[in-house]
Amino acid sequence: MDVLHIETSNKTYPVYVGQNAIALLPDFLKENNAFGSSILIITDESVGHLYLQTLKDTLSDIEKEVYVSIVPSGEKAKTFDVYYSCLTRALEFNLNRKSLILALGGGAVGDLAGFVAATYMRGIPFIQIPTTILAHDSAVGGKVAINHEAGKNMIGAFHQPEAVFYDLNFLATLPLHEVRSGFAEIIKEALIEDPDFYSWLTTNIHSMDLIDMDQLAFAIKKGIAVKGGIVKQDEMENGVRAYLNFGHTLGHAIENSVGYGSITHGEGVMIGMVFALKLSIKYAGLNFDLTSFINWVTSLGYKTKIPSSLKAEQLIYAMKKDKKTTGREITFVLLAEEGKPITKTMADDEIITEIELMFE
Ligand code: NAD
Ligand code: ZN
């Protein structure tokens, strides 16, 4: 079992990564007497069906009351109504300021449960138990949120977990498009921060459904290390944390415009990364073999072009709405070199010209 440590301004917390990582949870809870006598597990319907019993069994001899709140799967978990219902459950179960919330699920459950923990009685402890590859990113760093009709993650907080137990056994049931979604973020982390890791990925990863457990464990740990390093430098996202948005400006706009669910987050981000790499070569002096990159990610099953159902103007509008800007320009994260992100602000007409070249 590997353990990484995430350093933040007021605490350092462990991230256990490995097969059967949750077996370490009971001892962690016993050693941390600070946690009170009750636990609320928040999980979604799909993950609950698959792994709730495993988690409950793991907790069977810890002498705490264990309660459960099951929420809808996916983005439907991140609504105000679901958030409110979790708070109601917590009040019904008499959770107090020392009670612990366990988030068992992907990024959606982690964001929701973390926001419940951040706000219930002005903040109670929580532990992340991520079950998707994407959640290697969302479970670390303390950004927690729910959505508003006006936009994703509009209501949130910074609330760091007490620990992350990343049990790789849970990933076995992930559908392939979710594997791809999470792996896009790993490729992003390599590109923005770790050229050696990027070259390891291109050498070793040739098919999403043939990744073996050792490779997956290595890639996830590297990804978490990149994220942890950036969070350490800029916990509250005043500067370098924004580099994690590489590929996300256009990626989010595609995700929003085609409608959530028809393309996964990471699949949108991959198209956004191809776009950002193109811009980086043209405007930021990046020396990069884009053709090989496109061939590689295409062989992994990613799309690299914008769906033809969308229009450039619509994407510009969506990017501005996402970033809440009204001016005639948009700022992108680009790479000056592999591992050296920068930001560049570009005018609308220039962006439209570039986007027009990206359609399928
Ligand atoms: P998700 O939690 O919606 O999970 C995707 C789907 O996979 C869901 O239907 C879920 O039920 C299912 N699932 C989860 N684990 C499974 C398993 N082991 N086996 C089978 N099915 C499983 O989505 P996600 O991709 O993990 O996360 C996306 C969310 O994360 C978004 O809401 C995004 O805003 C958020 N996010 C947050 C941060 C952050 O820093 N807080 C960073 C990135 C993304
Ligand atoms: Zn992302």
Which of 131, 144, 185, 248 has most ligand 1 atoms within 8 Å of CB, for mutation? 131
In angstroms, the CA 224 to CA 54 distance is 25
Considering the domain architecture, whether residues 123 and 245 belong to the same structural domain is answered as: no
In angstroms, the CA 164 to CA 278 distance is 36
Percent of the chain with pLDDT over 70: 99
Instruction: Write out the two tokens for 275.
Output: 């776009």
In angstroms, the CA 21 to CA 270 distance is 29
CB-ligand 1 contact for 74 (6 Å cutoff): yes
What is the reported pLDDT for 260?
A: 64
Q: What is the DSSP string of 41-103?
A: EEEEHHHIIIIIHHHHHHTTTS-SEEEEEEE-SGGGGGSHHHHHHHHHHHHHTT--TT-EEEE
Last residue of a domain, one of 173, 194, 215: 173
Alpha-carbon 281 to chain mean position: 27
Considering the domain architecture, whether residues 267 and 140 belong to the same structural domain is answered as: no
Ligand 2 centroid to Cα of residue 267, in Å, is 10
Last residue of a domain, one of 152, 173, 194: 173
Which among 67, 115, 122, 117 is positioned nearest to 92, based on CA atoms?
67
Considering the domain architecture, whether residues 347 and 215 belong to the same structural domain is answered as: yes
Considering the domain architecture, whether residues 92 and 206 belong to the same structural domain is answered as: no
Dump strand ranges (E) for the chain.
Answer: 2-7, 12-18, 38-44, 65-71, 100-105, 126-130, 143-148, 151-158, 163-167, 329-337, 340-347
To the question of whether residue 170 is assigned a binding role by annotation, the answer is yes
CB-ligand 1 contact for 181 (6 Å cutoff): yes
Ligand 2 centroid to Cα of residue 120, in Å, is 26
Which among 195, 182, 205, 186 is positioned nearest to 300, based on CA atoms?
205
In angstroms, the CA 32 to CA 38 distance is 13
Where the chain has pLDDT below 70, the residues are 260
What is the reported pLDDT for 262?
A: 85
CATH at residue 12: 3.40.50.1970
**Ligand that comes closest to the CA of residue 269:** 2
To the question of whether residue 75 is assigned a binding role by annotation, the answer is yes
Considering the domain architecture, whether residues 114 and 194 belong to the same structural domain is answered as: no
In angstroms, the CA 184 to CA 265 distance is 9
To the question of whether residue 132 is assigned a binding role by annotation, the answer is yes
Considering the domain architecture, whether residues 199 and 319 belong to the same structural domain is answered as: yes
pLDDT, tens digit, 9 for 90 and up, residues 291-335 = 999 999 999 999 999 999 999 999 999 998 877 777 889 999 999
Which of 128, 134, 237 has most ligand 1 atoms within 8 Å of CB, for mutation? 134
Nearest CA to ligand 1 atom 40: 138
Question: Can you tell me the ipTM of this complex?
Answer: 0.99
Domain that holds residue 142: 2-173
CATH at residue 230: 1.20.1090.10
CB-ligand 1 contact for 187 (6 Å cutoff): no
Considering the domain architecture, whether residues 135 and 200 belong to the same structural domain is answered as: no
Considering the domain architecture, whether residues 224 and 75 belong to the same structural domain is answered as: no
pLDDT, tens digit, 9 for 90 and up, residues 234-270 = 999 888 999 999 999 999 999 989 976 789 999 999 9
To the question of whether residue 107 is assigned a binding role by annotation, the answer is yes
Considering the domain architecture, whether residues 125 and 254 belong to the same structural domain is answered as: no
CB-ligand 1 contact for 170 (6 Å cutoff): yes
Considering the domain architecture, whether residues 9 and 157 belong to the same structural domain is answered as: yes
Q: What's the structural domain count of the chain?
A: 2
Considering the domain architecture, whether residues 183 and 154 belong to the same structural domain is answered as: no
Last residue of a domain, one of 140, 155, 173: 173
Considering the domain architecture, whether residues 9 and 147 belong to the same structural domain is answered as: yes
To the question of whether residue 276 is assigned a binding role by annotation, the answer is no
Instruction: Write out the two tokens for 232.
Output: 């350490």
Ligand 2 centroid to Cα of residue 269, in Å, is 7
CB-ligand 1 contact for 281 (6 Å cutoff): no
To the question of whether residue 49 is assigned a binding role by annotation, the answer is no
CB-ligand 1 contact for 58 (6 Å cutoff): no
- Report the DSSP beta bridge partners of residue 100: 39
CB-ligand 1 contact for 301 (6 Å cutoff): no
To the question of whether residue 172 is assigned a binding role by annotation, the answer is yes
